Amino acid sequence: MGPNHVEAVERYGAAFTEAATGNPGVPVPACPGWTVEDLAAHLAAVQGRWAVVLDARGEPPDPEDLRRAAETGPDRLAGWREAHARYLAAQRDCPAYVKVPVWWTEEGRDTAAAVAERQAHEVVVHCWDAWQAVGAARSVPADLAADGVTEFLRRFLTGPDWPHGPLTVRLRATDTDDEWLVATDGTARPRLVTGNAPGLATLTGTAEELYLVLWRRLPLDRVDPTGPAAGFVAWPDLT
C-alpha cells in the first residue's frame, strides 16, 4: 500500500509553512529568481485552483472562481495558508472516485485521488526547495520518494520527440528495491513501460536521489549511471 497522499499534502504543507514563516525574502536556489514568498504564492495558486476544481465535483469549474482562487493578496504567506486549508477541505469532501478535469490524461479527466497524488508531490518537492533555501535540509522518506518517481515517470515524460534512437533506461532504488523501466524504439517520446527487458543504461541511487534528480533538484551525477553515455547526456530531453 502506497503513501496516503492527502496526509502527505497536509504534512508537507505544514512543513512548508514552518520553513517559510519569517523567511519570505530568502532566495530559492532550486527556483532561480524566486524567493520563498514567491514559492508560497505559486503553491497557493495551484492548490487554490484545485480546490475549485474539486468543489465542482466533475463539472467544469467557473473561470472567474479559478482566477480568484489563484490570487493571494499582499500577504502571500497568509494567502498560502488560506488556499492550503481550502484545498485540504475540498480534497477530503470530494469522493476519491469522482472524475474531475485534469491536464495529464488524453481524455482530460482523472479521479480526485489522482489529484491528491499530484498535489502531494507538488508540495513535497517545493517543501524540499524551501528547506534548502532556509538551511533546514531534511530528507524525503524512501517510500514517498519512490511513489514520486512513479508519479513523475507516468506524468512528466513530456519532452519533444526523442531524436537519439532507441533507448532503454532502468532506474534502480537501492533502499526500496523498486525498479522502473523507461523505453522508446526511437520513433516516439520515451515512456514508462512494464517488463523485464535489460536496461541499456541504468541509474542507481536511493529513492530520494532518483526523485530529486528527476525533478532537477540534484545533478545527474548524484546517481550512479552505467551504460551508454549518450543516453545520459540526452537525459534532460526526456522532460
Over the Cα atoms of the chain, what is R_g?
A: 19
For residues 155-174, one letter each, b for 16 or more C-beta atoms within 10 angstroms of the residue's C-beta and e for the rest, the string is bebeeeebeeeebbbbbbbe
Position 239 scores a pLDDT of: 62
Q: pLDDT at residue 232 above 70? A: no
- Same domain for 121 and 19: yes
What letter represents residue 239's amino acid?
T
- List, for residues 179-197, the tens digit of each pLDDT value: 999 888 878 888 898 876 6
- List, for residues 128-155, the tens digit of each pLDDT value: 999 999 999 899 999 999 999 999 999 9
CA distance 204 to 216: 16
| pTM of the complete model | 0.93
Q: Which of 5-14, 109-118, 120-129, 190-199 has the lowest mean pLDDT?
A: 190-199
| DSSP-assigned beta bridge partners for residue 191 | 183
- Same domain for 111 and 85: yes
CA distance 149 to 189: 18
pLDDT band at 224 (very low <50, low <70, confident <90, very high): confident
Q: What angle do CA 73, 77, 78 make, to 5 degrees?
A: 65
Q: pLDDT at residue 5 above 90? A: yes
Q: Which domain, by its residues, includes 42? A: 5-134
- Same domain for 114 and 41: yes
Q: What percentage of the chain carries pLDDT values higher than 70? A: 93
Nearest alpha carbon to residue 200 among 174, 165, 175, 173: 165
pLDDT band at 198 (very low <50, low <70, confident <90, very high): low
- Same domain for 168 and 128: no
- List, for residues 62-108, the tens digit of each pLDDT value: 999 999 999 988 999 999 999 999 999 999 999 999 999 999 999 99
Alpha helices (runs of H) in 56-101, residue ranges in sequence order: 63-69, 76-93
Position 169 scores a pLDDT of: 86
CATH number (domain holding residue 58): 1.20.120.450
Q: What percentage of the chain carries pLDDT values higher than 90? A: 73
Nearest alpha carbon to residue 170 among 225, 239, 207: 225
Calculate mean pLDDT across residues 206-227.
91
CATH number (domain holding residue 199): 3.30.1050.10
- Same domain for 112 and 29: yes
Residue 142 in any domain: the answer is no
Q: Which of 6-15, 32-41, 112-121, 218-227 has the lowest mean pLDDT?
A: 218-227
Read off the C-alpha cell for 42: 505559486
Residue 139 in any domain: the answer is no
Calculate mean pLDDT across residues 117-122.
99
- Same domain for 128 and 153: no
Q: Per the structure, how many domains does the chain have?
A: 2
Nearest alpha carbon to residue 157 among 196, 118, 104: 104
All residues at 6 or more sequence positions from 170 whose CB lies less than 8 Å from its CB, including other chains: 179, 180, 181, 182, 198, 199, 201, 202, 203
Could you count the other beta carbons within 10 Å of the beta carbon of residue 185?
11
User: Of 87, 106, 134, which closes a domain?
Assistant: 134
Using the 8-state DSSP alphabet, how is residue 32 labeled? T
Q: pLDDT at residue 230 above 60? A: no
Residue 140 in any domain: the answer is no
- Same domain for 11 and 121: yes
Q: pLDDT at residue 238 above 70? A: no
